[in-house]
Structure 1
Amino acid sequence: MRRRFFLSGALSTAALPACANAPETSLRPAAKPADALARSAPDAERLIASAGLGGRVGFMVADARTGEVLETYNPIRPLPPASVAKAVTGLYALETLGADFRFQTRLVATGPIVNGRLDGDLVLVGGGDPALDTDGLHDLAGQAKASGLREVAGRLLVDGSALPVIDRIDPTQPDHVGYNPAVGGVNLNFNRVHFSWKRQGNAYDTALQARTERFRPGVSTSRMRIADRTLPVYTYARAGDVDDWTVARGQLGGSGSRWLPVRNPDRYAGDVLRTMLRSNGITAPAAQPGRGQGTTIAITQSAPLNRIVASMLRYSTNLVAEVIGATATTRLTGPPRSLGGSAATMSAWVAQRTGGRQPDFDDHSGLNGTTRVAAADMVRLLTAAGAMTRLRPLLKELTLDGPPRQTVQAKTGTLNFVSGLAGYFDARSGRSLAFATFVADTDRRARLSVAERERPQGGRGWARTARSLQFDLIERWAAVHA
């Protein structure tokens, strides 16, 4: 069946109690004889069979306020949630850190500033801010100038110790995809660098920049070489502190651009900070990792966490999910040693929050396809006391074309041959429902080579069919569970 949706505003609702335990088999509520709409709704198992997706399907729908389980299909089967995991991470961070929590990034002087000269080190101290960009570093440099700084006599240091540095979220992804960058205590431009090219005769002009709308500084911590080949499109190697890329000449065409991941975020941020200091009339040596204590001479803060979570859920930004999840874990148990360790802490938090089974999160973003969550456990969290009040207003709103039109506040999730959808909607009677639907063909996914993972054959069609099935189920539930 056809399914179209578009984005609009978000809704808010009241708090809700915990969800009841899920039955093992599918429940089919008996429609009242007078309820022709409910009787005409297609059977859930028939919808699943007609989709012909292969793999596995699991769902649960429950009353969002009482937790009453209304309908299930394989509700306790663990399946990959893909980016639906970000809804869990958002709630985990909001409840652990608070909606008004803000990340801070500081410039610290370890010695006095005398006649414009800092007799000591200048330290960029990261707080993990996932939205820090080149504009923010320029603003820090401007504050340093206002403090009287003109020259750094000591070292320029970058302290990213607030979070462990992980060079990529998922090691099984292709090297060049921008949605799989490093994660650390200093994160600049989502830890991505902008690569652009333009043909000039028989050659190409290329640039690697820490680009924003205001600034386009070049960087020395990433470099690109054009290779005379057709495939692979990109290769990557680490050359000391430099991300060393090559790109196939046969793939470039006339001109273009794309974002590439950064693997050494501290060096990258230090490189750009030095440029921003120079643009404000401040000389400093090349940056290096390090720590130092002293006087804060400049500070910048992120937006409050509830706005960060809303943006993450809307744009499904993997870096943001990993940072806010790891920061929440740091608050609970101290800095994690790995993303997997932090995700395990979140898994335990979910079980404690719901009083149910413990899911198996391997990261906070869902990018890693080894994470497993059952639909029942997801719905228990969505219907836990206070969860809907915090989460539903921040979820992206989808409107399913009718008639009648059906609005849904939900988080989507898509990986190769994996599709998830979970959130809230109101039945046609106005009854608020919480749901989760996971679809996965993990065998087909496992057979993909690394080269096939960015655009696998048949992947888009499979994803469209999976999403259509999820929307068909919502329309069924909206009619039946009124």
Structure 2
Amino acid sequence: MTVRGGHPVVALATVVLALSSCAARHTTGARTPTRQEAIANLDQHDQLRRDLRAIFSAPTVDHGVWSVAVHSLQRGETLYRSNSFRLQVPASNQKVLTTAVAAERLGWDYRYTTQLYATGPIAGGQLAGDLIVVANGDPTINPRHPQRWTAFDDWARQLAAKGVRVISGHLIGDDNAFAEPGWGLGWSWDDFALGYGAPVSALQYHENQVEVLVGPALEAGQRPIVSVSPPGSGLTIDYQVITAPAGADSFVSLERIPGATVLTVRGQVAVASPPIRDTAAVPNPTTFYLTALREALSRHGIVVGGSTIDIDDVARPLDRSQATLLLEDQSASLTEVIDATNKWSRNLYAETLLRSLSPAGAPATTEAGLKVLAETLRSWGVSNNYYLARDGSGLSRYDYLTPDALIGVLTYMWLNPGLAENFRSTLPVAGVSGSLARRMEGTTAEGRVWAKTGSMSQVRSLAGYVVTTEGEPLVFAFMVNGFRVPQREIDAAMDRALLRLVTF
């Protein structure tokens, strides 16, 4: 193994080879190949390298900075490597590290907990005090999880069954399990307005975002129809959008200064054109959560006499030692959380997982989670020379990863019986599910590639597993930064490489 450009690759290659050797020892029917077979294998390898080199150096895509690694999990061999030691902005491939470490440290059966406390007695249908909601980051109360989407109504029914009809005090949200603010280091300020840049919070509802629907008016020049759902976002709409003549282009952008509540909607929608859908982050996830819970209580005949209050705005310190626990709720399992994180690349889920790695006893922070992440990766043999992690989702432009680091993590997960099958099942499948559902459909790669996608401006990444038509498992990582062609051309190059690997 060599040292290139001052970047050592020995340590990580050693762990990958060691893990892969372990896999080879468990391969049934293994035998020493004959001389002719060994020569044929060398010819196969040489042809694979030539084919992959041709794909990644094609004139349409070779101006980008590529980093690539392909490894056989069965043979314990590196099949192809190009700049695999080079640090690249990974986009959502950062989630591979976050979800792998979360699975190892928290366990697949881990669940988030929400508790509802009463600060006064219940008598004659009245709770004479406040109702306090305490949670530690459950991200699953949203339509992606149908059984969880009814959680607020379920709680309201349980409270009604306990005889609660009136809450004389306030509805208070205790979000102190997570430190504020809920953004990651290195996020662009203009991402904060959008759904994918929503801050994490200990109390999370509808992924801390709303859908913004912008539809045309009946005549050009009139103000379009703008709707925001679900209600209670705390946003005020600044209409800087018009209805354009029929046949004109339609485009909309959303802007909000961090800390403000005014959402500016700019652009135009043409007469008779379909409405444009986008998502916007809410300014205060806790009050958004409490507003929705208050509505659910009302639907079940429970009236809140006081206000909905973020614990940060409570005038006096709350003492829960004398409060009564009315109910305790648990989220969907970690398996389901990681499945949504990887298949649909949900940033909020990834940031929640990272904070959940924080040691107990203090508000969870990104920094504490990153420390645990680094300790875990080091125990797997993945040196911090091969990555720079600044958040859990990859939204930060300060994140850097190498294909070698991704290969090390993915190899560890594949060879760990307690992690392998569940982890692979959370990854998008080519032509079948998640962010790869529309890629490689109807090809030999359909159903044979499990991989996490990553996408930002001038950034594209893809890392995961391939099972060849001969049944050989491979692990791969493709990363490219700084390209100037449409992303679909980069995707096409990666797909061609995967089609070639499938037939290896």
TM superposition score category, shorter chain reference = 0.7 to 0.9
- The CA deviation at 1:131 is 1.3
- The CA deviation at 1:34 is 8.6
- The CA deviation at 1:390 is 4.1
Q: Are 1:328 and 2:357 an aligned pair?
A: yes
- The CA deviation at 1:398 is 0.8
Residues 144-178 of structure 1: CA deviation (Å, up to 9, x unaligned): 22211111222210011122233544234444321
- The residue number in structure 1 matching 2:78 is 69
Q: How many aligned positions are there? A: 429
Q: Are 1:258 and 2:278 an aligned pair?
A: yes
- The CA deviation at 1:471 is 2.5
Amino-acid identity (%): 23
Aligned in 2, Cα 1:67/1:104: closer, same or farther, shift over 3 Å?
Answer: farther
Q: Are 1:382 and 2:401 an aligned pair?
A: no
- The CA deviation at 1:344 is 4.7
**Bigger relative CO (Cα 8 Å, ≥ 6 apart):** 1
Alpha-carbon separation, structure 1, partners of 2:138 and 2:497: 38
SS at match of 1:281: coil
- The CA deviation at 1:143 is 1.6
Aligned in 2, Cα 1:207/1:428: closer, same or farther, shift over 3 Å?
Answer: closer
SS at match of 1:329: coil
Q: Are 1:187 and 2:175 an aligned pair?
A: no
- The residue number in structure 2 matching 1:394 is 426
Matches within 5 A, 1:215-364: 218-219=231-232, 221-227=234-240, 233-237=253-257, 243-248=261-266, 250-251=268-269, 255-284=275-304, 285-290=306-311, 293=320, 294-330=323-359, 335-337=363-365, 339=366, 342-358=369-385, 359-364=387-392
Q: TM-score, normalised by structure 2?
A: 0.76
Q: Structure 2: where are the runs of 5+ without partners?
A: 1-13, 20-36, 143-148, 244-250, 312-317, 432-439
Alpha-carbon separation, structure 2, partners of 1:45 and 1:423: 19
Residues 188-211 of structure 1: CA deviation (Å, up to 9, x unaligned): 10001233455377555544332x
Alpha-carbon separation, structure 2, partners of 1:245 and 1:36: 60
RMSD: 3.1
Matches within 5 A, 1:130-149: 130-133=139-142, 135-149=150-164
Alpha-carbon separation, structure 1, partners of 2:122 and 2:421: 49
Aligned in 2, Cα 1:366/1:289: closer, same or farther, shift over 3 Å?
Answer: same
Q: Are 1:127 and 2:136 an aligned pair?
A: yes
Residues 81-107 of structure 1: CA deviation (Å, up to 9, x unaligned): 211121221111111111011112222
Q: In the alignment, residue 432 of structure 1 is paired with which amino acid?
A: P
Alpha-carbon separation, structure 1, partners of 2:502 and 2:76: 16
Check conservation: 1:168, 1:263, Cα contact below 8 A: no
- The CA deviation at 1:71 is 2.3
Check conservation: 1:167, 1:264, Cα contact below 8 A: no
Q: TM-score, normalised by structure 1?
A: 0.79
Check conservation: 1:156, 1:287, Cα contact below 8 A: yes
Q: Are 1:19 and 2:16 an aligned pair?
A: yes
Aligned in 2, Cα 1:368/1:249: closer, same or farther, shift over 3 Å?
Answer: closer
- The CA deviation at 1:64 is 2.2
Alpha-carbon separation, structure 2, partners of 1:283 and 1:472: 60
Alpha-carbon separation, structure 2, partners of 1:467 and 1:422: 13
Matches within 5 A, 1:31-42: 32-33=39-40, 41=48, 42=50
- The residue number in structure 1 matching 2:52 is 44
Check conservation: 1:344, 1:361, Cα contact below 8 A: no
Check conservation: 1:67, 1:380, Cα contact below 8 A: no
Aligned in 2, Cα 1:108/1:257: closer, same or farther, shift over 3 Å?
Answer: same
Q: Structure 1: where are the runs of 5+ without partners?
A: 1-16, 23-29, 211-217, 445-457
Greater mean deviation of Cα atoms: 194-203 or 111-120? 194-203
Check conservation: 1:208, 1:219, Cα contact below 8 A: no
Alpha-carbon separation, structure 2, partners of 1:204 and 1:18: 58
Greater mean deviation of Cα atoms: 89-98 or 426-435? 426-435
Check conservation: 2:212, 2:227, Cα contact below 8 A: yes
- The CA deviation at 1:73 is 1.0
Alpha-carbon separation, structure 1, partners of 2:140 and 2:182: 18
Q: Are 1:471 and 2:495 an aligned pair?
A: yes
Alpha-carbon separation, structure 1, partners of 2:40 and 2:75: 25
SS at match of 1:397: coil
Residues 396-452 of structure 1: CA deviation (Å, up to 9, x unaligned): 1114368644611111111111111111112333221111111111xx7xxxxxxxx
Greater mean deviation of Cα atoms: 394-403 or 305-314? 394-403
- The residue number in structure 2 matching 1:416 is 457
Alpha-carbon separation, structure 2, partners of 1:269 and 1:411: 30
Greater mean deviation of Cα atoms: 401-410 or 120-129? 401-410
